[in-house]
Chains A and B, each alone.
Chain A
């Protein structure tokens, strides 16, 4: 009997495995009756649970339908909604009156100050976003908003294991997440954590070179594909691109050329990693059943939304 854990089998039954891994499990199941029976039992268990919860929902719907909610009194719409609409209309009219009184619009528009005027001999970083002087408290408070509980739940003791780190981050961000090895570029992987942006998880991978500030690779669920584009935010340059449903942002205190080169290197790694996996799968297929079944590592869990 092959050694496939319940974790992996439950993920398989729930459809959480990547297609390649699901195929690998299929192959094992075709050769192992004991495991096949186990999977059949797990599938049956899940179906029974789903049926039970559907039954409770049907009962709850029937019970609520037997006690209909009385309609609010009103003329086509409820009186409360009508009152709210009237208040909103009055508010808009008042706002228009104040606008006319304050600015004389449309005869005269206020002058909008887009950027503080600067002396001719002062070098201005035109790429910098914002015209308000930076304040360390504001910057750090904004950075604090990126932290979530999950930021501390990628255990430090697992940081040395790139596969485990990838597993933990990919569960949140997406199964296609890449944790690139950049030693050949002189950058050592130091640690990773999960941040958030508008409640969406963002993976942060940190790399350190022989000198200078660290480089960070951020990843969040995003577009299917987009070409790399460079932007500079003050001292920090960045390259953003999308691949396999994940949007990456490479950031560091480096020039446009070197960041674009590094981004290309990461994208090539991703392609070559896919090619290597395909080759490995092909080799595995040709090796046949004589060698016994190989256990695929568990993949990130993503349950379907209702």
Chain B
């Protein structure tokens, strides 16, 4: 009975969030198929009540964090294995073509070159409008680390666009442990 109450409380909220959760999972997994599968497993886990939703928590932050936790659980803390496995063609399919033209290949390549955590960081800030504190809560990282990485990644993209060099190649990876240490 308790599990049913939990589902009834959280399920409508999750359904309303589905497109945003799908985007988050797709970007994290690096493709639509892998993202859909990840989202399915994460939703199943959330609805099974393994992680109780606290009513004073924003449901989108809770759901994003749960998807990320599911992914970490499957790939290890750093997720480097998944980073290496991501297929570029699958990744490019996340961005719908406009008039049969590939969507901004430069930005797509740049995002592809980033570790999954960095993509999520950018998504949560520029796609969801979260502040550093909320991003830190979702990704289990210190807000200061989030802020520092955002500056580095933004500067790196701007450098690449203005042809000032390939600082983007030296961004490196950010694991939850690294960010919080």
Contact = CB atoms under 8 A, between A and B. Distances in A.
A10 B151 CA distance: 6
Contacts of B111: 49, 52
Chain A binding site: helix, strand, loop or mixed by DSSP?
A: helix
Interface in A52-111: 52-64, 69, 80, 84
Chain B binding site: helix, strand, loop or mixed by DSSP?
A: helix
- Most-contacted residue by chain B among A51, A60, A61 (CB, 10 A): A60
Contacts of A55: 95-96, 103
Contacts of A304: 129
A46 interface: yes
A46 B57 CA distance: 29
Contacts, number: 116
A44 interface: yes
B56 A56 contact: no
A48 B126 CA distance: 10
Given A45-B161, A55-B96, A63-B32, A172 B133 contact: yes
B162 A37 contact: yes
Interface string B100-120: 000110111001000000000
Contacts of B125: 303
A55 B22 CA distance: 13
- Most-contacted residue by chain B among A7, A56, A61 (CB, 10 A): A56
A50 B15 CA distance: 24
A67 to B, nearest CB: 10
Given A49-B107, A58-B96, A302 B151 contact: no
Contact of A51 (B8, B104, B122): B104
Contacts of B52: none
A69 B11 CA distance: 13
A175 to B, nearest CB: 13
A58 to B, nearest CB: 6
Interface string B22-46: 1100110000100000000000000
Complex A-B, nearest 7 residue pairs according to Cβ-Cβ distance, in ascending order: A53-B127, A306-B129, A41-B158, A60-B22, A45-B157, A61-B19, A6-B155
16 contacts: A6-B151, A42-B155, A45-B158, A48-B161, A52-B95, A52-B111, A56-B94, A56-B95, A57-B20, A57-B127, A60-B22, A199-B56, A201-B133, A301-B147, A305-B131, A306-B129
